[in-house]
Amino acid sequence: MVNEYDKLQKIFSALEMPMDEEERIDYKNLEKLINYELSIGVEGFYCMGSSGEGLLLSNKERKEALEQIVKITAERVPIIAQIGSIRTKDVIELAKHAVGIGVTTVSMIPPYYYKFSMEEIIKYYEDVIEAVPGIQVIIYNIPQFTGIEFSKQNADRLLRNPAVVGVKHTSHNLYSLERMVREYPDKVFFNGFDEQYLAALSMGASAAIGTSVNCYAPLFLKIRKFFMEQNYEKAYQAQAEVNDCIEVMVKHGIFNAVKYILSKRGITCGQCRKPFMELSKKAMEELDRIVSIDGL
């Protein structure tokens, strides 16, 4: 299991999903995107999460996309499949498919919309684990989208489960992150907010999954390198450079902003599926100022 955990202590791109003009997945440009990201230092891919428009894809599309990602990456880097949804049966179906094609590490958002009890949410994870032997689960803590904030207290039963290997912590509550890290040192904790990567490292995170990693992976590699060398001034400078870019992207909608930047770099990614709106001309002009920043 040690080797499996080591595989996860990486900087993962929350992989964007290129779309054509008819909102179909553009597999030709998906291959270009994956190979481009590997060339700039991305160490793994987190697939069908928020950045990959996972909840805007059908189960059939999610399966097909994962199959293509596995084929393209050809075991060069680890893959994590985000399989969470509102219905447990759908999640089990996606989990079995992922394991069947060799993706044994999955991430799951909690069930959303209905105000499920914490017991129901925990059972949702446990039902998937029970139904799919050998699966490794990462809890996806993203309260601003799901309304559920996982903590040391309410996630204790899950974090004590050996099939739960870690948490993707997309929350600004770094105190809660540090408390979980200290209580469960054998788990992998992924920073999920790119703008606080350096701070999350200081609180014990050992990995990252990020949307802006699609474009700016070299800067994240620098932050980690300088942090490990205890060169905190340079680490802060690299984090500030990331945040300068994120400030512009968030202003205009980060998912379409990343697609635009990648498209300007030669990998046509199209637009996010509706109801996401297209970027305005003014947004594109502002994003043009950060296209050439790459940290290389």
Catalytically annotated residue among 140, 184, 216, 260: 140
pLDDT at 296: 65
Q: Which two tokens stand for residue 182?
A: 């200290």
Using DSSP's 3-state secondary structure scheme, residue 82 falls into: strand
Q: What HEC string does 43-68 produce?
A: CEEEECCCCCCHHHCCHHHHHHHHHH
Helix (H) or strand (E) holding 25: none
Under the phi-then-psi rule, with left for phi > 0, alpha for psi from -120 to 50, and beta for the rest, what region is 173?
beta
Catalytically annotated residue among 63, 168, 187, 222: 168
C-alpha closest to that of 175 among 144, 152, 145, 146: 152
Model confidence, pTM: 0.95
Report whether 254 contacts 260 (CB < 8 A): no
Q: At what angle do helices 88-100 and 59-73 cross, to 10 degrees?
A: 20
Question: In sequence order, what are the residues at sequence separation of 6 or more whose Cβ sits closer than 8 angstroms to the Cβ of residue 128?
Answer: 83, 88, 91, 92, 95, 108, 135, 137
pLDDT at 2: 42
The reply to whether 140 belongs to the active site is yes
The reply to whether 197 belongs to the active site is no
pLDDT at 294: 76
Report whether 267 contacts 241 (CB < 8 A): no
pLDDT at 295: 67
Taking only the tens place, the pLDDT of each residue in 247-295 is: 999 999 999 999 999 999 999 999 999 999 999 999 999 999 999 987 6
| pLDDT < 50 positions in the chain | 1-2
Report whether 209 contacts 168 (CB < 8 A): yes
Taking only the tens place, the pLDDT of each residue in 178-204 is: 999 999 999 999 999 999 999 999 999
CA gap 71, 92 in Å, rounded: 22
CA 218 centroid distance within chain: 17
pLDDT at 1: 40
DSSP letter, residue 278: P
Dihedral, CA atoms, 3, 35, 95, 137, nearest 10 degrees?
40
Dihedral, CA atoms, 188, 189, 193, 197, nearest 10 degrees?
-90
